[in-house]
A = this chain, B = another copy of it.
Amino acid sequence: MVINQQIQQLLKRNQLSITGSRSKILELFLQQNGALAHADIEKKSGASFDRVTVYRTLQTFVEKGIIHTIPTADNSILYALCKDECTEGHHHDHHVHFICSKCSSTICLEDITVPEIKLPGGYQTTQVEVVVNGVCKDCRG
């Protein structure tokens, strides 16, 4: 299983001890290459961990730059794996997020960069979030 080595590397690189819950939750992210809601993770991990552990694990992963959050229109929190460039306390997820209204899967479009937005005088930009709603390629036809 290559995926297990990947998980251990990812945790070690971020100075996190390798525990059952962390490994399992990382596995979920690595398996399906989309975003997961907190509820998804609780369900898919098979009630094997406490709610609190899931909260704390996700929080830790966000802090370490392993995953990032995605704001959605209905204000539920989504999490997705970061690419390698992200480090502790410094996310670089400047890509567009896509949410399919049919299958409600959320995908990070890594190749689509966020366009520069010209603001009126006096405004200073630090970060831009772009979320595209629509229908994904699997749900059309």
Could you tell me if B117 and A132 are in contact, using CB atoms closer than 8 angstroms? yes
A112 with B121, Cβ < 8 A, contacts A71-B72, A132-B127 known: no
With a cutoff of 8 Å between Cβ atoms, the chain B residues found around residue A101 in the complex are: 126
Query: A116 to nearest B CB, angstroms?
Result: 8
**Within 8 Å of chain B (Cβ to Cβ): is A120?**
yes
For A136, list chain B residues within 8 Å (CB). Answer: 122-123
Give complex CA distance A137, B128 in Å: 17
- Tell me the dominant secondary structure on chain A's binding face: strand
Mark A64-83 against chain B: 1 for CB-CB distance below 8 A, else 0.
00000101110111000000
Residues of A within 8 A of B (CB-CB), count: 36
A86 on interface, CB distance cutoff 8 Å: no
Offer 29 A-B interface pairs, CB within 8 angstroms, sorted by A: A71-B72, A71-B73, A71-B75, A75-B77, A98-B119, A109-B119, A111-B120, A112-B118, A115-B115, A115-B117, A117-B130, A117-B132, A120-B137, A122-B137, A122-B140, A123-B132, A123-B134, A123-B135, A123-B136, A123-B137, A124-B134, A126-B133, A126-B134, A126-B135, A128-B130, A128-B133, A129-B129, A129-B130, A129-B133
Besides A75-B75, A124-B140, 7 new A-B residue pairs in contact (Cβ under 8 A), listed by A number = A71-B73, A101-B126, A109-B119, A109-B120, A119-B134, A125-B132, A126-B133
